[in-house]
């Protein structure tokens, strides 16, 4: 989408970003390493500090992340069916992850009706999902999910100076995606409407058990009808 000058969304203002990032990443262990950029980026363009990590996210969002998410997203119902049958095989075929042992993330698309959701999201009622699986669509500022980073950029923790810099990439990508997907609109305006969402998910459980809820980090939201 074209970017025209407009007021900075509240979640992208420094007074909000800095404290939130500190809270999200408090206690992270420092690991001194040399940055190795993802395909399409050189070490001169990127870097291991937090500022350089944010610059990497900004440079790569439109050129790398958006195409990775939007060019060939998998229907969410297909991802769920495959992952429930065999999570590892589904991930190898349809998803991507940082390293072995980490959960897989997927570029997905889903159409459904928007309803009231949990904190930080609206719910999406999607036909064809198995019983016991619910779906939410993240609302700004998207929090600390790494799904967009993991789908769109070939980076790993060891590429960065520390966990704070590594997480800063995800945080900045999430902010850019929120700006694109909502474009200043309020999430409540979508309630009761049928929409098609394109974004990223991670197949993982917040409780450590079976996956029962998926949150889509949208880069595109289109009303239907």
Which residue segment(s) compose the domain that 184 sits in? 10-223
Whether 39 is covered by a domain: the verdict is yes
- Rounded to whole angstroms, how far apart are CA atoms 48 and 119? 32
DSSP state of 193: -
Question: Tens-digit pLDDT profile for the chain (225 aa)?
Answer: 334 444 455 445 554 455 545 444 443 333 333 334 444 443 344 445 899 999 999 999 999 999 999 999 999 999 999 999 999 999 999 999 988 889 999 999 999 999 999 999 999 999 999 999 999 999 998 988 999 999 999 999 999 989 999 999 999 999 999 999 999 889 999 999 999 999 999 999 988 889 999 999 999 999 997
Whether 213 is covered by a domain: the verdict is yes
Per DSSP, which regions of the chain are E strands?
74-75, 105-115, 121-125, 134-138, 194-202, 213-223
Buried b (16+ CB within 10 A) or exposed e, 83-113: beeebeebbeebbbbbeeebbbbbbbbbbbb
Dihedral Cα 59, 136, 79, 37, nearest 10 deg: 20
Whether 2 is covered by a domain: the verdict is no
Whether 3 is covered by a domain: the verdict is no
Q: How many domains does the chain have?
A: 1
* Tokens describing residue 126: 């999607």
- Rounded to whole angstroms, how far apart are CA atoms 49 and 131? 44
* Tokens describing residue 139: 């609302």
Q: Give the pLDDT of residue 11.
A: 46
Whether 81 is covered by a domain: the verdict is yes
């Amino acid at each position: 989408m074209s970017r025209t000058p407009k007021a900075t969304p509240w979640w992208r203002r420094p007074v909000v970003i800095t404290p939130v990032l500190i809270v999200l990443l408090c206690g992270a262990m420092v690991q001194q390493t040399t940055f190795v950029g993802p395909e399409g980026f050189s070490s001169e363009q990127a870097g291991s500090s937090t500022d350089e990590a944010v610059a990497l996210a900004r440079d790569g969002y439109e050129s790398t992340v958006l195409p990775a998410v939007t060019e060939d997203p998998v229907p969410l119902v297909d991802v769920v069916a495959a992952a429930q049958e065999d999570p590892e095989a589904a991930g190898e075929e349809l998803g991507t992850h940082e390293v072995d042992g980490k959960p897989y993330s997927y570029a997905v698309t889903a159409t459904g009706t928007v309803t009231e959701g949990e904190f930080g999201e609206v719910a999406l009622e999607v036909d064809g999902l198995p019983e016991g699986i619910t779906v939410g669509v993240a609302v700004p500022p998207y929090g600390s999910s790494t799904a967009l980073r993991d789908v769109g950029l070939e980076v790993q923790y060891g590429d960065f100076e520390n966990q704070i810099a590594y997480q800063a990439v995800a945080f900045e990508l999430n902010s850019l995606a929120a700006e694109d997907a909502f474009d200043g609109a309020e999430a409540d305006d979508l309630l009761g409407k049928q929409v098609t969402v394109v974004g990223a998910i991670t197949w993982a459980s917040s409780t450590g058990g079976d996956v029962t809820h998926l949150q889509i980090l949208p880069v595109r939201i289109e009303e239907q009808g």
